[in-house]
Amino acid sequence: MSTPTSRTEEERAAWWATLAPDALEDEIRVNLRAERRLVPIALVAGALTVVVLVLRTVLFS
């Protein structure tokens, strides 16, 4: 069997569906890692907000 990291997304989902304990632990790890995207999302949203506020100050003050 290939290691989890070498699997495609579909293969990995199929492996998780086998409900083997190591597969379920891997699913938890992947879901946990996916939460890391919240940081760049917040940074992008924050940057966009700052750009809007600066833009207004530059254009209309």
Partner 1 sequence: MVDILRDVLVALLVACVATALIPVVGGIVLYGIVPFHAVRSHLRRAGAYLPRVVVLIPAWNEAPVLTASLERLMALEYPPDRLRVFVIDDASTDDTPAVVGAVAERFPGQIVHLRREKGGQGKAHTLNHGIRRALADDWMEALLIMDADVVYRPDSLRRMTRHLADPRVGAVSAYIREGSRRPSAVTRFIGYEYVTGQAAARRAENVVGAMDCLAGGAQLHSRVNIEAIGGQVDTSTLAEDTMTTFMTQLDGRLVVFDPSAVVLAEEPDSVTGLWKQRLRWGRGNVQISSRFRRMWFRPTRQHRLGSFVFGFMWFAIYLLPFFMTAASVGLIGLFLLDELLATWMFQALWWAAITAYVFITATTLMLDRQTARRSWLEALMFPGLGFLVIMAAVFVPGLWDERIPAALDVQLGPVAVTAWTLLLYAWPVLSMVCAWGLKQLERVPGGRRAVRFLIYLVGYGPVLCAVSADAYLKEWQGAAQVWDKTEKKGTVAA
Residues of this chain that interact with partner 1 (CB under 8 A) are 13, 16-17, 19, 21-22, 24-25, 27-28, 31-32, 34-39, 41-46, 48-49, 52-53, 56, 60
Locate all alpha helices (DSSP H) within the chain, ordered by sequence. Answer: 9-17, 21-34, 38-60
Orientation angle between helical segments 9-17 and 21-34, nearest 10 degrees: 130
Q: What's the closest the beta carbon of residue 51 comes to partner 1, in angstroms?
A: 9
Q: What's the closest the beta carbon of residue 39 comes to partner 1, in angstroms?
A: 5
Closest CA to 24 of 33, 15, 35: 15
Give 5 or 36: the residue with its C-beta nearer to partner 1. Answer: 36
